[in-house]
Structure 1
Amino acid sequence: MPRAAENQFGAMVESVVVGKRKVCRGAEGQRALEQLEARLAHAAGIEQPVRLEVIDRKTVNALTLPGARMVIMRGLIEQAGNADQLAGVMAHETAHIARRDPLVALFRGAGIGVVSTMLGVNLGFADVSSLAGRLVGLSYSRDMERLADANGVAYLQASGLRSDGLAGFFALTDTRNGSAGPAVEFLSDHPRTVDRQRQSHGSPLGESALTPHEWAAVQAMCGTP
């Protein structure tokens, strides 16, 4: 799909996914996240700026959408133990953007008919809503997830940042939820395997993704839940 068409489709999908939910507009926190994502995107070789939104939703998850778009939910920021854990998740999602995985997963999951619809001249709201629902509900393949883990770690290292954040996030989530506890949505959408746990280990070497002041600004973006 041409980039221009993907960007247009991504904008429509984002409008449906975000919908009437509050978009968190804390300027300082937004700037810190955008600067971090710009470093990751540069390491990933993504040529266009990644559009990043934080929405006020308690779900612990982040989504990538067509057209280099990332949606981070308030619950993920609250669940993360520190800025490096959030950066680990962002690097993983950046890897999906770099490989255009949202489109690939949509094509595989919904069939060639969806491609024809997406390339149509006029997409009605019902069409976009249906496609957005399919996209959000799709899970990436194990190979996609393994690559995103490995590439995310590589992007962090290439940026001079700590690369053990995703592994730390997984460990913290296990501790908080317990083995029999409810899985956060990020883990439901991105199921782990033994291979994936090895891929995401990373290294504690490197600078922190955000300063303490920047991390506090990110945590305050949505205000009091």
Structure 2
Amino acid sequence: MPRSAENQLGEMVETVVVGKHRVCVGAEGQQALEQLEARLARAAGIAEPVQLVVIDSKTANALTLPGGRMVIMRGLVQRVGSADQLAGVMAHETGHIARRDPVVALFRGAGIGLISATLGVNLGFVDVSSLAGRLVGLSYSRDMERLADANGVAYLQASGLRSDGLAGFFALTEKREGSASAAIEFLSDHPRTDDREKRSQGSPLGESALTAQQWAAVRGMCAKP
């Protein structure tokens, strides 16, 4: 898929994914996340800036969309135990962006013929709602997930950040998985959490992803005005 078409598709799909959710605002928190993601993207060799948005959804999840877009949901920000754990999840998602996994998985799931025929005519005729539903429900292969985990840890290390946040997030999740109410969408249909924790140990050495002030600003982005 040409980059121009991927970017246009990503913009259209993001509109549907965000939907009726309120976009969380807060200049300091948004800037902190964008600066963090810029460091990760640079380590990943991603040339264009990653477009990042936080939405007011209780779902504990983060999504990557075509065209280098990342959607972080309030539920995930509230669920993680620290800024470094959020950075670990963001680094994992950056791994998907670097390898264009959303597009690859979309082609595999919907069929190359269907997507090619649709995009080959005119993006204006794409059933964006259908494609958005497919993207939200994407189940990456285990190899994709393991590689995104490994690359995410590598991006953190290359950025000079502590790289044990992803493993910490998995450990936190493992403790909470006993009850249905504690289920975390980010982990659904993914490889076993304990396996991922062992493979994503990383190191406590390095800078923290955000300062205490920045983390407070991120946590307050979805506060009701």
User: Is the structural similarity TM-score above 0.5?
Assistant: yes
Match of 1:119 in 2: 120
Match of 2:106 in 1: 106
Match of 2:6 in 1: 6
* Pairing 1:118-197 to 2, within 5 Å after superposition: 118-124=119-125, 127-178=127-178, 182-192=182-192, 195-197=195-197
Alignment CA distance shift 1:179-1:122 (3 Å): closer
Structure 1 gap ranges (5+): none
Give 1:153's aligned amino acid. Answer: V
Deviation at residue 109 of structure 1 after TM alignment? 0.8
Deviation at residue 180 of structure 1 after TM alignment? 6.6
Deviation at residue 122 of structure 1 after TM alignment? 4.3
Distance (Å, rounded) in 2 between the aligned partners of 1:189 and 1:217: 31
Query: Identity across aligned pairs (percent)?
Result: 76
Deviation at residue 148 of structure 1 after TM alignment? 0.3
Match of 1:200 in 2: 200
Distance (Å, rounded) in 1 between the aligned partners of 2:103 and 2:159: 26
1:43 aligns with 2:30: no
Give 1:103's aligned amino acid. Answer: V
Q: Residues 6-36 of structure 1: CA distance to partner in whole angstroms, max 9, x if unpaired?
A: 0001000001100121000111000000000
34-43 or 16-25, larger mean C-alpha shift: 16-25
Distance (Å, rounded) in 2 between the aligned partners of 1:13 and 1:124: 13
Distance (Å, rounded) in 2 between the aligned partners of 1:35 and 1:68: 15
Distance (Å, rounded) in 2 between the aligned partners of 1:194 and 1:165: 14
Deviation at residue 224 of structure 1 after TM alignment? 4.9
Structure-1-length-normalised TM-score: 0.94
Structure 2 gap ranges (5+): none
Match of 2:72 in 1: 72
* Pairing 1:208-223 to 2, within 5 Å after superposition: 208-223=208-223
Alignment CA distance shift 1:122-1:155 (3 Å): closer
Distance (Å, rounded) in 1 between the aligned partners of 2:4 and 2:190: 28
Q: Is the 8 A contact 1:74 1:222 kept in 2?
A: yes
Alignment CA distance shift 1:34-1:221 (3 Å): same
Aligned pairs, number:
224
Give 2:18's aligned amino acid. Answer: V
Alignment CA distance shift 1:194-1:214 (3 Å): closer
Distance (Å, rounded) in 2 between the aligned partners of 1:23 and 1:201: 33
Q: Is the 8 A contact 1:162 1:207 kept in 2?
A: yes
Structure-2-length-normalised TM-score: 0.94
Deviation at residue 181 of structure 1 after TM alignment? 5.9
Q: Is the 8 A contact 1:33 1:218 kept in 2?
A: yes
- Secondary structure, counterpart of 2:71 in structure 1: strand
Q: Is the 8 A contact 1:156 1:162 kept in 2?
A: yes
Deviation at residue 189 of structure 1 after TM alignment? 4.4
Match of 2:31 in 1: 31
Q: Residues 27-70 of structure 1: CA distance to partner in whole angstroms, max 9, x if unpaired?
A: 10000000000000000000000000000000000000000000
Give 1:138's aligned amino acid. Answer: L
Give 1:219's aligned amino acid. Answer: R
